[in-house]
Structure formats: C-alpha cells, structure tokens
Amino acid sequence: MRKQETQEGRSVRLLRVGEQVRHVLSEILQRGDVHDETLQSHLVSVTEVRMSPDLRHATVFVKPLLGQDEAAVLKALRQNTAFLQREVAHRVRTKYAAKLKFLADESFDEGSHIDRILRSDHVAQDLTEE
C-alpha cells in the first residue's frame, strides 16, 4: 500500500530539499570549487532556494557581499550552471538532477526601501500621538 502524501508533507519536503541545495551551493561557493575569477573574488550568499513541486527546477536567490558587482556575479553563476548542477546532483540525492536558475535576491533592497519609507517625515507625522 502506497502512503498518501499530503500537501503539507510535500511542502515540507520541498523546503527540506531546497535547504539542502542551498547548503551545498553555499559550501561550493565558499570553498572556491568553481574555477571562475569573478566567483573566487566575491563572497556570494545563497539566501534561498525554491524548489518546483516535482523537484526538477530550483530557483536560487543570491546576493554578493555588499551587493557589489551583482550583474557580474549572476553572469558567472549562469556560465557555471552545468558544473553547479552536477555538483548538486552528486551531493543531494534526488530522483532527478534539478535545473538551477540564478536570480538576484531583491528582498534586502525591498526591506531597506520599506524601512526608509517608515522613517520618512511624512509617515512619522502619522505615527506621533497628538
């Protein structure tokens, strides 16, 4: 008898596999295993990995330290995707090797933008007690 997988169980699995992929990619980049000048000269944070429901696709959100040379870092990651996919497939045991898609993590920029808005004089006047 096959065990029925619930929506919650599947989402927990997606999160777990995504976190494993994030950890593996972070380790590869931190150790300098990728033979690319751009990636070896920049510290890159892998902030999140979102897996597709079938675990065949992984969207990888990255942020270079201090946001420096973001476009160059993304280009280098995309040029080395095949190597990174092989390494992830080797270290994370899943039925299929996930195709990696690298995107810049904009959440830090959005957070600082919201923070600036909340600290603006226009908003602050609404927050003060009369």
Where does residue 3 rank: exposed (0-12), middle (13-18), buried (19+ CB within 10 A)? exposed
- For the four alpha carbons of 34, 39, 40 and 46, in that order, the dihedral sign comes to negative
Q: Rounded distance, CA 89 to CA 84, Å?
A: 8
Quote the pLDDT of residue 119.
Answer: 73
pLDDT at 3 over 50: no
- For the four alpha carbons of 56, 61, 64 and 68, in that order, the dihedral sign comes to positive
Quote the pLDDT of residue 1.
Answer: 40
* Residues 83-119 pLDDT 10s: 999 999 999 888 788 999 999 988 766 666 666 777 7
* Residues 9-27 pLDDT 10s: 568 889 999 999 999 999 9
Residue spans of alpha helices (H) in the chain: 7-31, 37-41, 70-79, 81-91, 107-119, 121-127
Q: Which two tokens stand for residue 36?
A: 């690319």
Map out the domains of the chain with their CATH numbers.
7-105 (3.30.300.20)
* Residues 25-54 pLDDT 10s: 999 999 888 998 988 888 999 999 999 999
- Looking at every residue in the chain, the average pLDDT score rounds to 83
CA atoms within 13 A on the CB side of 31: 7
